[in-house]
Amino acid sequence: MNANTNKIALVTGATRGIGTETVRQLAQAGVHTLLAGRKRDTAVEVALKLQAEGLPVEAIELDVTDEASIAAAVEQVRTRHGHLDILVNNAGILLDDISKAPSQQSLEAWRRTFDTNVFALVAVTQAFLPLLRESAAARIVNVSSLLGSVTLHSQPGSPIYDFKVPAYNVSKSAVNAWTAQLAYELRDTAHKVNTVHPGYVKTDMNGGEGEVEVSVGAQSSVQMALLDADGPNGSFTYLGEVLPW
Ligand code: NAP
């Protein structure tokens, strides 16, 4: 029997882009996957499409920046499933104005970006940790970006050196740094947390100008979500390749 069929996963920001595809691939692997979206109707609509493909997908409402929404989602998962095996923190936003210099981005953009990309990710993880600890071997995947690499941003000639969207970039550096902190907490348990770069993926976030399709973009998250006991804890990777912090 496929060991994944007993697993429950939840993917945030799953109503479009990499999130929807991550749900599809986890469900194709046999995992019962909760497709979380901030609008219930949209989540149901997208989940119905995946169910029509014969996949074990269930919609759940979750606005990651809303405390009450997080609490309601946790309660729903507790009541229906009693535990959670996989949490993919995928929801994210990019608000920087690319025509402006790093020092010219509005503080409003910084605050909103950190609210969704960092504080909400920590809040969702904190709220689901008790249910994740009920799993035999939980996997937390934080969807970061190569743009979070401080090493590459400091290296003239690196592929990202000239791409300075600071609120977004620094939010992803923070996601990476937080991953290392949580990995330390989980180090002597069966649970693991890892952070991934999905690739430069054709989605709404870049107006479809990415280099790879969502089918590739979801793979790094799925790989870390389905890690066996020998897999890493606290890594930053793209398709299994270790990336510089
Ligand atoms: P996308 O197409 O813009 O989708 C973003 C998703 O996040 C949407 O489903 C959106 O929901 C959701 N979201 C935003 N705020 C939310 C909130 N408060 N609560 C719940 N959901 C929320 O972006 P994507 O390209 O698929 O990006 C997915 C992840 O990959 C992000 O973390 C992004 O930073 C990361 N990433 C993407 C690329 C790339 O090349 N695309 C590269 C590196 C990293 P709504 O539909 O309701 O707005």
Chain-centroid distance, C-alpha 163: 22
Q: Count how many Cα atoms sit within 13 Å of the Cα of residue 230 in the half-sphere of its side chain.
A: 0
* pLDDT of residue 208 exceeding 70: yes
Nearest CA to 34 out of 164, 151, 131, 170 is that of 131
* Rounded percentage of the chain residues whose pLDDT exceeds 70: 100
Across the range 45-73, mean pLDDT stands at 98
Atom of ligand 1 nearest to the CA of 94: 34
CA of 17 to the centre of ligand 1 (A): 7
pTM higher than 0.95: yes
Phi, psi of 189 (to 5 degrees): -115, 180
* pLDDT of residue 133 exceeding 70: yes
pLDDT band at residue 107 using 50, 70 and 90 as cut-offs: very high
CB-count burial class (<10 Å; 0-12, 13-18, 19+) for 133: middle
Reported in sequence order, the residue ranges of 42-153 that DSSP labels E, i.e. its strands, are 57-61, 86-89, 139-143
Per-residue pLDDT, 55: 98
Phi, psi of 116 (to 5 degrees): -80, -50
* Rounded percentage of the chain residues whose pLDDT exceeds 90: 98
Per-residue pLDDT, 1: 59
Q: Is the sign of the CA dihedral 129, 132, 134, 136 positive or negative?
A: negative
Nearest CA to 218 out of 14, 36, 8, 6 is that of 14
Across the range 126-146, mean pLDDT stands at 98
Read off the amino acid at residue 194. Answer: N
- pLDDT tens, position by position, 143-184: 999 999 999 999 999 999 999 999 999 999 999 999 999 999
Across the range 54-65, mean pLDDT stands at 98
Ligand 1: which residues within 6 Å by Cβ? Answer: 12-13, 15-19, 37-39, 63-65, 90-93, 116, 143, 145, 197-198, 200-201, 203-206, 210
CA distance 43 to 97: 29
How far apart, in Å, are the Cα atoms of 240 and each of 26, 51, 54, 194, 227?
A: 17, 29, 29, 11, 11
Chain-centroid distance, C-alpha 68: 20
CA of 148 to the centre of ligand 1 (A): 15
Atom 2 of ligand 1, residue of closest alpha carbon: 17
CB-count burial class (<10 Å; 0-12, 13-18, 19+) for 30: middle
How far apart, in Å, are the Cα atoms of 209 and each of 83, 95, 144?
A: 38, 16, 18
Residue to probe by mutation, ligand 1, list 12, 16, 45, 168, most atoms within 8 Å of CB? 16
Residue to probe by mutation, ligand 1, list 20, 38, 45, 206, most atoms within 8 Å of CB? 38
Q: Determine how many CB atoms are found less than 10 A away from the CB of residue 185.
A: 11
* Non-local CB neighbours of 111 within 8 Å, separated by 6+ positions: none
Nearest CA to 183 out of 170, 192, 174 is that of 192
